[in-house]
């Protein structure tokens, strides 16, 4: 819904409300405590154009009125400081929107669609998802500008990376830098781009001082990248591999899923499958979240290919102090994925990082690969496994996983804290490719 001026230019855009199956999503994304919410929580966002002061007041009044009538919590709380009343929008003229149909876009150029987001967590919201899709279709780069204290969720990070978007961090006194690489940025005519040499804080573009690492030795993240491929038939039910990994590593199933963050639908493999089937042959992208007791979040990309129905899954699980990641359980998980869920490949990694699996706008050490698993369904690997699958440059021989008649292989790459695991993984991949040429 949009409230417009007399010329039809939007002043305020109100998102369709969504029922949250996991009320904790409000706490995860906005910091709203669960005890402030009831059992049935609806989420909606009200966005004002930055062109006029009246539009911002109007958005606050609209949001405040919803909370006053229906109950709930308004974030940020100061948005309704003007009180619940009437905003005089007579003779208010807003300029044409930068992008028709994209209320989240604040600046539009030939090269970029720029969004300003001042919130504690930058998530893959429906606003951001639509902006990414529209920009990709138009050949533009999405650039999201946030303050330095904003955190980036795993789904938003993956989506920005795939779309070649940029997270721009705004420091009041020091300018701008890339939130993932630390590169000093500047506005270069039609978009944010790396600053030229000599413009940085120490004479060169270099890395921003605000990107300095924040020590966090007590929290870790276990990262899984899984790919499965299923025969396309009426009996197919998706989500089994993700559910198995979730159950194996956290002791519980996922809590909710959706097409964006917050994820509002109760976890259901059948409903997820029905949604993807309705969209086929178009691809389907989903977000899956867990219960608050054990932070975990995943993205699922369902794609129809000549081989069948593929699931490309990225799962991140957080661990705090005195919560060691269950690294000994990875081989057993790989065996279950190969035996029951049509595993093609899986890469297991661990990193020092926040327990909530969000990324800060500061340097984080890269993840360290722990193991690689290849299922028998991978045709190229099937030939390797049948020939010289054990002759690999590893500290220990690979384990057979899955069916005995046609097994896959699980390759352990080394200790969890060893940066040499990357070299081991590269050598292993080179060896496997050499067996298929």
* pLDDT at residue 186 in the model: 93
Tokens 């995943």 correspond to what residue? Answer: 298
% of the chain exceeding 90 in pLDDT:
62
The two tokens of residue 436 are 């298929």
* pLDDT at residue 33 in the model: 83
Residue 389 in this model has a pLDDT that exceeds 60? no
Over range 295-312, report the average pLDDT: 95
For residues 300 and 316, what is the distance between their CA atoms, to the nearest angstrom? 12
Q: What pLDDT band is residue 80 in, cutting at 50, 70 and 90?
A: low
DSSP annotation of 116 = E
* pLDDT at residue 21 in the model: 85
For residues 37 and 292, what is the distance between their CA atoms, to the nearest angstrom? 15
Q: How many helices (H) and strands (E) does the chain have?
A: 9, 24
Residues 340-350: tens digit of each pLDDT: 999 999 999 99
Sheet holding 46-48, edge to edge: 2-4, 10-14, 46-48
Question: CA neighbours within 13 Å on the CB side: how many for 305?
Answer: 12
Element (H, E) at 332: helix 330-340
* pLDDT at residue 244 in the model: 97
For residues 266 and 5, what is the distance between their CA atoms, to the nearest angstrom? 39
Which is more confident, 120 or 72? 120
Q: What pLDDT band is residue 390 in, cutting at 50, 70 and 90?
A: low
Contact 235, 312 (CB under 8 A): no
Residue 405 in this model has a pLDDT that exceeds 70? yes
The two tokens of residue 298 are 């995943």
Element (H, E) at 62: helix 53-70
Contact 285, 301 (CB under 8 A): yes
Residue 360 in this model has a pLDDT that exceeds 90? yes
For residues 421 and 151, what is the distance between their CA atoms, to the nearest angstrom? 28
Residue 181 in this model has a pLDDT that exceeds 50? yes
* pLDDT at residue 342 in the model: 94
* pLDDT at residue 7 in the model: 85
* pLDDT at residue 379 in the model: 42
> Under DSSP, is residue 108 helix (H, G, I), strand (E, B) or coil?
strand
The values of phi and psi at residue 156, to 5°, are -65, -40
Q: Mean pLDDT, the chain, as a whole number?
A: 88
* pLDDT at residue 374 in the model: 95
The two tokens of residue 331 are 């081989």
> Under DSSP, is residue 348 helix (H, G, I), strand (E, B) or coil?
strand
The two tokens of residue 352 are 């020092």
CA distances from 300 to 44, 155, 188 (A): 24, 9, 35
Over range 61-89, report the average pLDDT: 80
Rounded to 10 degrees, the C-alpha dihedral 22/27/32/38 comes to 20
The two tokens of residue 219 are 């929290």
Q: What pLDDT band is residue 205 in, cutting at 50, 70 and 90?
A: low
Q: Poorest-confidence range of 12-26, 44-58, 79-93, 311-325?
A: 79-93
Largest Cα span, the chain: 78
Most confident of 4-8, 65-69, 136-140, 149-153: 149-153
Residue 361 in this model has a pLDDT that exceeds 60? yes
Residue 287 in this model has a pLDDT that exceeds 80? yes
Residue 22 in this model has a pLDDT that exceeds 60? yes
The two tokens of residue 220 are 């870790």
Q: What pLDDT band is residue 203 in, cutting at 50, 70 and 90?
A: very low
Q: Poorest-confidence range of 172-186, 196-210, 233-247, 314-328?
A: 196-210
Checking DSSP bridges between strand 343-352 and strand 220-230, what pairing results, if any?
Answer: antiparallel
Checking DSSP bridges between strand 41-43 and strand 18-20, what pairing results, if any?
Answer: antiparallel
Residue 148 in this model has a pLDDT that exceeds 90? yes
* pLDDT at residue 292 in the model: 85
Residue 155: closest CA among 176, 137, 128: 128
* pLDDT at residue 81 in the model: 65
Q: What pLDDT band is residue 202 in, cutting at 50, 70 and 90?
A: very low
Over range 276-302, report the average pLDDT: 94
% of the chain exceeding 70 in pLDDT:
92
């Amino acid at each position: 819904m949009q409230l417009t001026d007399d010329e039809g230019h939007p002043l305020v855009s109100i998102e369709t409300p969504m029922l949250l199956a996991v009320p904790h999503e409000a706490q995860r994304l906005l910091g709203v405590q669960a005890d402030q919410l009831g059992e049935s929580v609806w989420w909606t966002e009200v966005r004002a154009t930055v062109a006029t002061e009246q539009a911002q007041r109007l958005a606050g009044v609209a949001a405040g009125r919803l909370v006053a009538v229906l109950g709930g919590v308004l974030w940020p709380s100061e948005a309704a400081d003007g009180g619940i009343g009437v905003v005089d929008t007579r003779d208010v003229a807003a300029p044409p929107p930068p992008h028709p149909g994209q209320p989240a876009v604040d600046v539009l150029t030939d090269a970029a669609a720029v969004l300003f987001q001042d919130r504690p967590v930058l998530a893959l919201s429906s606003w951001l998802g639509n902006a990414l899709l529209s920009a990709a279709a138009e050949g533009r780069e999405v650039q999201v500008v946030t303050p330095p204290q904003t955190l980036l969720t795993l789904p938003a990070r993956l989506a920005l990376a795939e779309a070649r978007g940029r997270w721009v961090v705004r420091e009041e006194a020091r300018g701008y830098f890339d939130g993932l690489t630390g590169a000093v940025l500047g506005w270069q005519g039609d978009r944010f781009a790396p600053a030229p040499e000599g413009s940085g804080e120490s004479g060169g573009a270099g890395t921003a001082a605000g990107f300095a690492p924040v020590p966090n030795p007590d929290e870790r993240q276990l990262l899984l990248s899984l790919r499965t491929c299923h025969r396309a038939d009426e009996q197919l039910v998706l989500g089994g591999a993700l559910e198995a990994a979730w159950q194996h590593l956290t002791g519980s199933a996922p809590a909710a899923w959706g097409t964006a963050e917050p994820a509002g639908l109760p976890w259901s493999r059948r409903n997820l499958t029905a949604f993807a089937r309705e969209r086929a042959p178009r691809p389907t992208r989903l977000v899956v979240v867990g219960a608050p007791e054990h932070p975990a979040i995943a993205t699922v990309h369902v794609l129809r290919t000549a081989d069948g129905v593929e699931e490309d899954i990225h799962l991140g699980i957080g661990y705090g102090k005195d919560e060691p990641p269950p690294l000994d359980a990875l081989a057993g998980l790989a065996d279950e994925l190969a035996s029951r869920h049509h595993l093609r490949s899986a890469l297991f990694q661990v990193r020092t990082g926040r327990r909530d699996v969000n990324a800060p706008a500061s340097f984080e050490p890269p993840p360290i690969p722990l193991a690689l698993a290849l299922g028998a369904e991978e045709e190229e690997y099937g030939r390797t496994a049948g020939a010289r699958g054990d002759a690999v440059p590893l500290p220990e021989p690979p384990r057979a996983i899955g069916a005995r008649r046609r097994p896959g292989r699980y390759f352990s790459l080394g200790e969890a804290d060893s940066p040499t695991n990357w070299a081991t993984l590269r050598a292993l991949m080179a060896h496997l490719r050499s067996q298929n040429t």
